[in-house]
Structure 1
Amino acid sequence: MRLQTILLPQLEKHDIEELFIHKEGGYISFNGYFNLFYIEKHKRYTDIQELSLKLCAKGYRSIILMHNSNELSRHDLKETILQEYEFVFPYHEKDQGVFWFILIESNEDKKYITGYFEGRSNKYREVNIAVAICTYRRETYILKFLVELERFMTNADQMESASHLCFYLIDNGKTLGQNENIVSAVAKFNGIVSVIPNMNAGGAGGFTRGMLEALKEKRKKALTHILLMDDDAIFMPDLFVRVYGFLTTLKEKYRAITLGGTLLREDYPYIQQASGEWFENFAVLNEHHLVDLRSYENCTAPFMCSTVGNQRLYSGWWCCCYSLEVIRDDNLPIPLFLHHDDIEFGIRNRENGIVFLNGVGVWHKGFELAFTGANLYYDVRNSLITTALHEPQRTTWEVKRWIWKRITAATIEFRYAEAKLVYQGLIDFCRGPEWLYSQDPDSLNTLVRAQIVLSKIEDLKKELTEDEYDEILKEIDQYRKTFGVETLKRYYSPQHRNASLLKKVTFNGWLLPADKKVAAISATDSPFAAFRKRRVILFEAFTGKGVVARRDFRMLQRSVVFYIKSSGMIDRYYKRAALEYRERLRKITSREAWENYLGLTE
């Protein structure tokens, strides 16, 4: 069984060499992130008995098999002849660490290398995977995906895994069928790829529709798993090889384990943003943000190799594979539209376990490059739902403190509409699960998003003097030039939201005379960056959008009203609503409920 293909950097994409290999002189070490074989994960979860490396190579003198930093064996190669080889690793002797290999170059000009790790087992599981991609009017991304998929599906080397896949393009915008290029591309797959028009119920509704389709065709196609993927994510097709190879070799007791997806950054492709996170005390937590995968030391650190400590983790739905023993008629996500659908469902089903493998993941745009905006409504409402379900021990005082902090953070940065959305999210949580289920999700989303509008940066000329506008452009340009991994590290550091005593006691300078100079504040800056400012430009450097925001004491008074009203609302309704969510969860997460919610019963 092919477990993972030996991958090389490609000039047109994924060209960070150190993600795949490290070169030194004539030695090519295949110990980059994508080419390491993680022993402990396969030993614990799979029935693999033997492991070998199959190569087809020319232009290399010899090969060295490695375990961690230790040489296992050396073998001579035929330098001038394209030859197939098989080398056996001592899999039964090692329980931890990584296997990899080194090729020593010859003087031959033309060099060629392909290969893969092959696992042998006494038994293989029957696995067929439905891949569900949720999309909303992103035809460009879908076309790119279909081109990549066609290349993969027609590669003879990949046919074992390719023949066990089918694909659902969940079309929340109902526009894919109107695009001739997409219709033509889909037709080439002879039914393997299906376009499923769906109402716009957000990512939660789109991915759940994919689950419903998989359940409907489970018997017909002998489906065993569903792989969820974002439409705007960049992936390497060997993802499918690795998912299939791992699932077919699973031990019986781990047959329902979740195979999570690693999140890499699109802007810094060598940075791992997340490989499993957890939710606690209203916060998404991640012990290992921004891991540089160019480093062999990072890739072989205990947190990358070990299977210990995964019990509390969940995977985002940018890439996540569930068993259809977990996805059932009576166990589907909550209709949350977006944000926390993956978190809540992951927590609810974590007794099945979760594992993350190198190469099973995607590249995605950074989430912190834009202001939270209207999504704050969903963050608040859905965080409260997740907390009510899975942290029932939280007190009303803890809930109040969290809500007040969210209102404060928005207010001190003059993001008054967001402060209102925090309060609105609380109100709608308190209305309970029946209210949530009864809403038209698209209409509600339209109302929420209408409350926050960012303009093009050039449109801000109307509200600034010429000198102010020029200065702001310089600051934004400087931000773009200096933006980097260090910027992200500061953003994710505990100090990001820390403030001096002066800033705290003066409500970030609201009680002090205003500084009249306009400041430019990005989405990655601390909210305390607006200290004493009368006006600020809240800008998104990479979308070219922004807004002029002002200190407004009437809005401050409104936020104080939100503090008071939210306190009363939490005292009066929080515990009741939390109990309703716990008692009535199954009523809104069943197949029947979802089919009715999505209008599939008409």
Structure 2
Amino acid sequence: MLDADKETIGSNKGAQKLNKAAARQAISSGTSLHPDAILDRRRLRVEEAQRISLGTYFNGFPASYWRRWTIVQQVRLDLTLSGLGASVIVYRSMANGRSQRVDGWTCETSGPSSASFDLTLTPFVDGGWYWFDVVAGDEAAVIEEATWSAEVPADRAEVGSVTVGITTMNRPDFCAALVAQVGEDPDVNALVDEVLVMEQGTQKVVDDPGFAKAEASLGGKLRVIEQGNIGGSGGFARAQFEALKSDRSKYVLFLDDDIIAEPESILRAVTFGDLARRPTIVGGHMFSIFAKARLHSFGEIINRHRFWWMSPKSAEADWDFGARNLRSSRWLHRRLDVDFNPWFMCLIPLEVVREIGLSLPLFIKWDDSEYGLRAQAAGYPTVSMPGAAVWHVPWTDKNDALDWQAYFHQRNRFVAAFLHSPFEHGGRLIRESLNHQLKHLFAMQYSTVELRHQALEDALAGPEGLHAVLGSKLGDVREFRKGWDDAELSADPDAFPPVRHSKPRRKSDTSEIPSKPSQLISAVLGGIRQFRGTRPLSREFPEGNMPAMDARWYHLATLDSAIVSMPDGTSAAFYRRQPEQFKDLFRRTLEIHERLYREWPTMARRYREALGEITSPEAWEPTFEASLKAGGK
């Protein structure tokens, strides 16, 4: 069942919400593929009189992406099938999700028989896929092999080789398993010039029990590079640096150390890059490592006015393929063009690195998105390619908006905006930053406010010091957070005193989401309360227990203290309202945002003039050496 066409829904908000809810509901008939039907990675059994569709994320052919970004004009489906009377039906879809039958064939023998279908890519300007279904006859059928291929000019037929870069930090088991996935797949191994593991932790991958076997699988192609902890940007910049220095590969492939890879995805990304119309960054998608059928992100863009990363409005986040497959989901058929691809899996041509430089020295956050924008400005697109993906911990399961990572989110967002915002004063970014600061203040998250304030001061200090603090800023930030009530976390529920009130509360249900007018009233009343004294009992006893999902500023603004759970579910903190601290932070927040607005044009010019220098191999090399010394190696 295909979900409703948006043209029939119109602009009615209620109808749109209802359709979104319906689109996420499972439509399975209750039947599922028996595990025994999967004979191996490329062979599938279809029981007699049953029908199996290969119109799935990994098996379908995303024709519109190949039509738009590569030189391929026609694709061939080659299929080998066993089973007398088994039928093959080839389908295509349009950008609006409607499908059409394209061709068909029937197997006339019990033994293996082959068929080929030549399929044009002409009608896929805006979107659409190819796929095929198999219907077994009076006996079971076996899909022996099926491939999508294309004939290309001889000068484009050469397969590009790859340097794989994996940045790791205290995940030896995950990292060793990932290296083995690359080495043990013969087709991927054949593409690899070298696998670089940037070891930045104290728990070494070389000490993992699975490392020796993983290393042997690569036959001498593995190199472990030890350096200090200079973050993901430092690790991936090192991979770019070493790939440029070796000058053997056509691409450098970034892989996070905590993923489960699908080796076929690497082959597809390289093939797509080889056949791209121009040098193109090719990224994979992210599925949840905890729920393997859930696609967490289908593509990322930067809203230039807010200067914030987001999925396009035509896409759906956290999509469950176990409930809705490709054939029943309209939005998956429209081609989605992106500004960048996160670096959990990202293939970058070395030609691009030579021209635009290495990663910015940002430690974590915004390094991948800034690089995509920088490449885009130089004429190099990024494609997040369907059918190429990894399994990773979803971003929604992390706590990076409140802990030490808040510093890097704030500083690096402004650094990227100084470099790439088309607006004279950053568009809505300054106003949005101010609003977030006020919300954190109302929520008694004073350490987060202070970290974000420091981040803005460091961004305003200019680009010249980014390399110098790359290896030390994390330690400084973590040390600074010590002693703040909202940063003192405990996993023990008995570590906190019980809830007590000096007088009964009129309203205690925090699960309700208030309306916009109610939030505005909360902002006004909450602001007034900040300049009043606190209730004496709240200094020793919390006035409420606040689950993480309810810990919104408009709820916390009504309290003088609270036990607040963290989003990752592992701990909680005892928040206390501090009127004097609020006044000081409020004043400095207003001052620095006024300064941001005033100095924006100057800062944008300074960052843009320095970009080529601070991302050059020459600037990065002493940073790598300094990190090694700082780490005591």
For this structure pair, what is the TM-score category when the shorter chain's length is used for normalisation?
0.7 to 0.9
Q: Which residue does the alignment assign to 2:8? A: none
| Mapped contact 2:417–2:426 kept (Cα < 8 A) | no
Q: Which residue does the alignment assign to 2:165? A: 132
Q: Which residue does the alignment assign to 1:257? A: 280
Q: Which letter does structure 2 place at the counterpart of 1:203?
A: G
1:469-504 deviations in Å (ceiling 9; x for gaps):
xxxxxx9xx99xxxxxxx9xx9xxxx9998523212
Asked if residue 196 in structure 1 is aligned to residue 225 in structure 2, the reply is: yes
Q: Which residue does the alignment assign to 1:168? A: 196
Residues 289 and 125 (structure 1), Cα distance of their counterparts in 2 relative to 1, 3 Å cut = same
Residues 325 and 163 (structure 1), Cα distance of their counterparts in 2 relative to 1, 3 Å cut = closer
Task: Select between 197-206 and 518-527 the one with higher mean Cα deviation.
Answer: 518-527
Q: Which residue does the alignment assign to 2:88? A: 63
| Mapped contact 1:293–1:299 kept (Cα < 8 A) | no
The whole-number CA distance in structure 2 between the counterparts of 1:67 and 1:397 is 42
Residues 586 and 29 (structure 1), Cα distance of their counterparts in 2 relative to 1, 3 Å cut = same
Q: Which letter does structure 2 place at the counterpart of 1:232?
A: D
Superposition pairs of residues 296-375 of structure 1, within 5 angstroms: 296=325, 301=330, 304-306=333-335, 310=337, 313-328=339-354, 331-350=357-376, 351-371=379-399, 372=401, 373-375=403-405
Which of the residues 369, 373, 385 maps onto 2:415? 385
Q: Which residue does the alignment assign to 1:233? A: 259
Deviation of residue 505 (structure 1)? 0.8
What secondary structure, in the 3-state scheme, does the structure 1 residue paired with 2:352 have? coil
Q: Which residue does the alignment assign to 2:250? A: 224
Q: Which residue does the alignment assign to 1:147? A: 180
The whole-number CA distance in structure 2 between the counterparts of 1:518 and 1:23 is 59
Q: Which letter does structure 1 place at the counterpart of 2:117?
A: V
| Mapped contact 1:235–1:362 kept (Cα < 8 A) | yes
Task: Select between 226-235 and 91-100 the one with higher mean Cα deviation.
Answer: 91-100
Task: Select between 356-365 and 376-385 the one with higher mean Cα deviation.
Answer: 356-365
Q: Which residue does the alignment assign to 1:503? A: 522
Deviation of residue 571 (structure 1)? 6.0
Residues 9 and 264 (structure 1), Cα distance of their counterparts in 2 relative to 1, 3 Å cut = farther
The whole-number CA distance in structure 1 between the counterparts of 2:448 and 2:257 is 27
Q: Which residue does the alignment assign to 1:464? A: 497
1:78-103 deviations in Å (ceiling 9; x for gaps):
5643x252321332664452211011
Residues 452 and 331 (structure 1), Cα distance of their counterparts in 2 relative to 1, 3 Å cut = same
Q: Which residue does the alignment assign to 1:484? A: none
The whole-number CA distance in structure 2 between the counterparts of 1:282 and 1:163 is 37
The whole-number CA distance in structure 2 between the counterparts of 1:214 and 1:103 is 44
The CA RMSD measured in Å over matched residues stands at 3.7
Residues 228 and 9 (structure 1), Cα distance of their counterparts in 2 relative to 1, 3 Å cut = farther
The whole-number CA distance in structure 1 between the counterparts of 2:122 and 2:50 is 30
Q: Which letter does structure 2 place at the counterpart of 1:187?
A: A
Which of the residues 438, 449, 460 maps onto 1:408? 438
Residues 184 and 313 (structure 1), Cα distance of their counterparts in 2 relative to 1, 3 Å cut = same
Superposition pairs of residues 246-285 of structure 1, within 5 angstroms: 246-251=272-277, 254=278, 256-268=279-291, 269-280=293-304, 281-285=306-310
Q: Which runs of 4+ in 1 moved over 6 A?
A: 8-12, 20-25, 495-498, 512-516
The whole-number CA distance in structure 1 between the counterparts of 2:583 and 2:548 is 25
| Structure 1, gaps ≥5 residues long | 1-7, 15-19, 469-474, 480-486
Q: Which residue does the alignment assign to 1:103? A: 134
Instruction: Compute the TM-score of the two structures, normalised by the length of structure 2.
Output: 0.78
Q: Which residue does the alignment assign to 1:437? A: 467
Which of the residues 450, 457, 466 maps onto 1:420? 450
Which of the residues 319, 324, 330 maps onto 1:292? 319
Instruction: Compute the TM-score of the two structures, normalised by the length of structure 1.
Output: 0.81
The whole-number CA distance in structure 2 between the counterparts of 1:460 and 1:584 is 50
Q: Which residue does the alignment assign to 1:550? A: 576
Taking only the aligned residue pairs, the percentage that are identical comes to 20
The whole-number CA distance in structure 2 between the counterparts of 1:596 and 1:437 is 9
What secondary structure, in the 3-state scheme, does the structure 2 residue paired with 1:352 have? coil
Deviation of residue 423 (structure 1)? 0.6
What secondary structure, in the 3-state scheme, does the structure 1 residue paired with 2:215 have? helix
Q: Which letter does structure 2 place at the counterpart of 1:115?
A: A
| Mapped contact 1:499–1:528 kept (Cα < 8 A) | no
1:403-436 deviations in Å (ceiling 9; x for gaps):
3222212222221100001110011111111122
The whole-number CA distance in structure 1 between the counterparts of 2:130 and 2:412 is 42
| Mapped contact 1:36–1:98 kept (Cα < 8 A) | yes
Q: Which residue does the alignment assign to 2:211? A: 182
The whole-number CA distance in structure 1 between the counterparts of 2:320 and 2:398 is 25
Asked if residue 85 in structure 1 is aligned to residue 109 in structure 2, the reply is: no
Asked if residue 47 in structure 1 is aligned to residue 77 in structure 2, the reply is: no
Q: Which letter does structure 2 place at the counterpart of 1:46?
A: T
Task: Select between 417-426 and 23-32 the one with higher mean Cα deviation.
Answer: 23-32
Deviation of residue 340 (structure 1)? 0.7
What secondary structure, in the 3-state scheme, does the structure 2 residue paired with 1:34 have? coil
| Mapped contact 2:296–2:317 kept (Cα < 8 A) | yes
Deviation of residue 564 (structure 1)? 3.9
The whole-number CA distance in structure 2 between the counterparts of 1:380 and 1:164 is 37
Residues 55 and 353 (structure 1), Cα distance of their counterparts in 2 relative to 1, 3 Å cut = same
Residues 134 and 183 (structure 1), Cα distance of their counterparts in 2 relative to 1, 3 Å cut = same
What secondary structure, in the 3-state scheme, does the structure 1 residue paired with 2:472 have? helix
What secondary structure, in the 3-state scheme, does the structure 2 residue paired with 1:260 have? strand
Deviation of residue 299 (structure 1)? 7.6
Asked if residue 598 in structure 1 is aligned to residue 624 in structure 2, the reply is: yes
Residues 125 and 54 (structure 1), Cα distance of their counterparts in 2 relative to 1, 3 Å cut = closer
